[in-house]
Structures are given as C-alpha cells and as structure tokens.
Amino acid sequence: MLHTSSSNDITAGDSTKASSPNDEVNESPPKYSWYHGVFFNATIVGIAAFAAPGLWNAMNSVGAGGQQTPYLVMAGNAILFAVMTLTCLTASMMANRVGLRNSLVFGTVGFVIYSAALYTNNRYGTEWFIYFGSAICGLSSGIFWGTEGAIMLTYPEPEKRGRYLAYWLSYRNSGSILGGIINLAFNYQGKSTGKLDWRTYIVFVALQCLGPLCSLLLTPPEKVIRRNGSRIQLAERIPDLEELKALMRVLLRKDFLLVMPYFLYITWTIPYITTYLSLYFSVRSRALASLVSAVAQVVTTLLFGAFLDWTRLSLNKRARYGYVAMMALIGGCWVWGAIVQNEYTRHKPALDWVDSGFGKGWALYIFWQINFSLTYNFGFWLLSFLARDSKEIIRYVSVARAVESAGQCISSGISSTSVPLISALGVCFALWGIAVIAAYFVVRQVGITHIGPEKEAPNADESNERSEKS
C-alpha cells in the first residue's frame, strides 16, 4: 500500500537507495533454453499428434478403419464424436484445473484403445469393443483436441503462428504417411475390395503407445521462453462455474456464430469421402491413397502456412486472399465430385490401380483430403485472431472442436446407413455454400478488428489499409 514517507523513514543519505513501490524492478531477460523453447514443445505436440490422431487418420483414410464395409465403424464413430462434442466443451475446464501437460497425456490414451478395438473386430469379428473403444476415444480425444490446439495457438510468437500450425499439422499428416506405408506394405496384394490385413493394426497399436509417453515432456506454459526472450501471457485459473460461463459467452459471440458453419463443414466431409473410398476402390488402392494423400497434405499445408505468415502482404490481405483461393479450389472439387459420384452411383465400380478410369475418381479423393487439411489449418489460424485475450484462446478452440465433433457425429451417423452417397455429397456441397459466405464476414476483418491477444506487428501496407477503413 502506498504511504507518505517522513524524514524518520528515509534519511538524506539513504534517499538514493530508496525506491518507490511504483518503480519497475530491473530483471535480466530470461535465458533461452531449447527444451523450454517453442520449437521443442511444438515438436512434442507434433509427435503426440503423429501417434494419436495422425495414425487414427491413417486407418480411417483407407476407408472405414480398413474394414470390409463402412457401416459398423461409422456407427462407432458416431458414438465417438457424440461423446467428443461434450468433452471438447470441457477441455478448457480440464486444462484450467490440471494444466496443459496432464490434459495432453490423458488425451492420447483413448486412441490406443480405439485401434485395439479395430484389431479385434478385424481378426475376431468382435463388435461390442468397437462401440466401447469409440466411446473411450471420444472421452479422451475431446480433451486432446482442445489442448493441442490451445498449445499451438499460445506458445508461438504471433508472427510465426502460421508456420508453426503448419509444422504441427505436418506431424499429424506424417502419421498418415507412415500409416500409409504400413497399410501398403501389408496390403499391396489386395486387388479387390475388402478389409486390411489384421497385422496392420498391431503395428498401429504399438506406435500409438508413444503418444502418452512423449506428452510427458511438454513444458508447462509458465516455463516456456520464446526465441526473442518473451514469455506466454498466462491465463489465470478460475472456478469451473466461471469457466463454463466464459465458455458460453464465447459460443454465443457474433463472430463465432458466423464461423460456426465453417467448423461444422471441416469434418462433416470426412465420413462421406472415406465411405466413398471404401466402397469403390480395392484394398491396395485405398492403402496407396492413404499414403499419397498424407504426403500431399504435408506439402500443401506447409506452403499455405508459409503464405499466411508472408509479411510482404498485410495480414488482412493474407486472410482474404488465402480464404478465397482455398474456397474456390474446394468448390471446384465438389463440382468434380458430383460428376464422378453420379457416375459411380449408376455403375458401382470396384476399381484397382490397373483398371481403366481409375485415376479420375482416385485423384478426386486425394484433392478432398488436401482440401480438408487446408481448411483445418486456416480455421485454427483464424481462431487465433478472434480471441481477445490469452484466456479465450483455449475456449475458442474448445467450442470450435465441439462444433467439428458434432458435425462429424451427424455425418458418421448418416454414413452408417445405406443413404445414397450422391445425397451425402449434396449435403456436403450445400454446407460448403453456407460456410463460405458466413465465414467471409469474419475473415475480412482479420487484422482490422480481429487482431488477437498478441497483436502481430503490422507492416506499412497494413497500417495504410487500416487507416483507410477507419
């Protein structure tokens, strides 16, 4: 508490030594250490993403978890994402209570159980484990999805965020690359439609055990030191009820309501495109697709992330140009898809890579996977600018993940039935049309009104643009 000093408090000789309570304490800047740095921790999150959702994606990218028909796995995935919708909303409360590292460890466990369930179903025909494993995976992965996103939006410097997001996602896609190699190695002789070799799943289960072990190495945010010497803006821990109220305020905010269709769209398409692959292509063609799509996702995501951090353009122009180009590509692919799907609905092919007409429909699947990766990367880059302070970042990630999970839950439920795939494609196309318009109203304000909790330093072009608009 401030008070007035008298001559008895401070003598003339001591006046030079006395300091006011308002004086700043001169502290030396924190020393950078690689294991407390952003790159090391981004690598830890990347390896966890490689082992958990990366390998999960590899199994699902061959179509319905590699099973002969998609219906049982899609029913299990509907349960997974229904549970995940709820756990995503609690991710911020979990992190608030136990910290990011413990949340990350817990979040990786369910993926191992899910893979074990696919193995028992593939080899022994066990069905109940699919439902149980899906529920457990939904319980833990909702925490994982919210936690990994919060780490990758808060740990890096704002001006490097796009590249670090791409770096993180490249690990996840690398899981799909390795998974694709494993899939192809065990299934290269599968010239007809069917299920994967059961030995494939043993390798996946073993590799996914790396996720919880690696997550233990994450540095808590209060100890992270960036390369420039700055630290993370720490969020104050608050009671769970207050955290829940804050989460609901974010969910009902106008800017989030506008981008909600976008996040609903991102994962809505996955059940449709994996069902498409499993029904129309041979086992080895599906294994090859999981490998090629993962490589394509890594390359395109890294290029897109570099563009989003390209400071020769203003932040606002990067957001608008990147969004328009990405959505134009996606729209073109849905037109292409409508033509191919209409043909496949009539003829019901079972295509192998030696068959005539194979490339047209197979390449379409690769582009669909690229589109998913780009929308995913851009969506979380966009969220980093919507948050008004550091406490809101994990809340935005949590509600965005919950919306994604709800969309994939509904879409998986649809794909678990015999609904014509041309109808499923029509729903995806329509949802894209809604998302592209609604989200643009938010995208056009990035760098103007949406600048994030740690504002990126503007260049001259951006400063002039902001002055003109004001």
Count Cα atoms within 13 angstroms, Cβ side, for 188.
Answer: 6
Whether 411 is in a domain gets the answer: yes
**Whole-Å CA distances, 39 to 114, 281, 332:** 30, 40, 36
What gap in Å lies between CA 432 and CA 426, rounded to an integer?
10
Note down the domain range covering 326.
34-219+237-469
The CATH number for 46's domain is 1.20.1250.20
Q: Considering only 36-40, 59-63, 257-261, 399-403, which range has the smallest mean pLDDT?
A: 59-63
What gap in Å lies between CA 318 and CA 324, rounded to an integer?
10
Identify the pLDDT of residue 29.
Answer: 60
Whether 21 is in a domain gets the answer: no
Concatenating the DSSP letter of every residue in 411-462 gives: HHHHHTTT--HHHHHHHHHHHHHHHHHHHHHHHTTBTTTB--SSPPPP-HHH
Total tally of structural domains belonging to the chain: 1
| pTM for the full predicted model | 0.72
Residue 21 pLDDT level (bands cut at 50, 70, 90): very low
Whether 22 is in a domain gets the answer: no
Mean pLDDT over 194-203 rounds to 71
* pLDDT tens-digit readout, 60-91: 655 444 444 556 777 888 888 888 888 887 77
Whether 397 is in a domain gets the answer: yes
Whether 20 is in a domain gets the answer: no
Whether 422 is in a domain gets the answer: yes
Residue 416 pLDDT level (bands cut at 50, 70, 90): confident
Whether 231 is in a domain gets the answer: no
Whether 24 is in a domain gets the answer: no
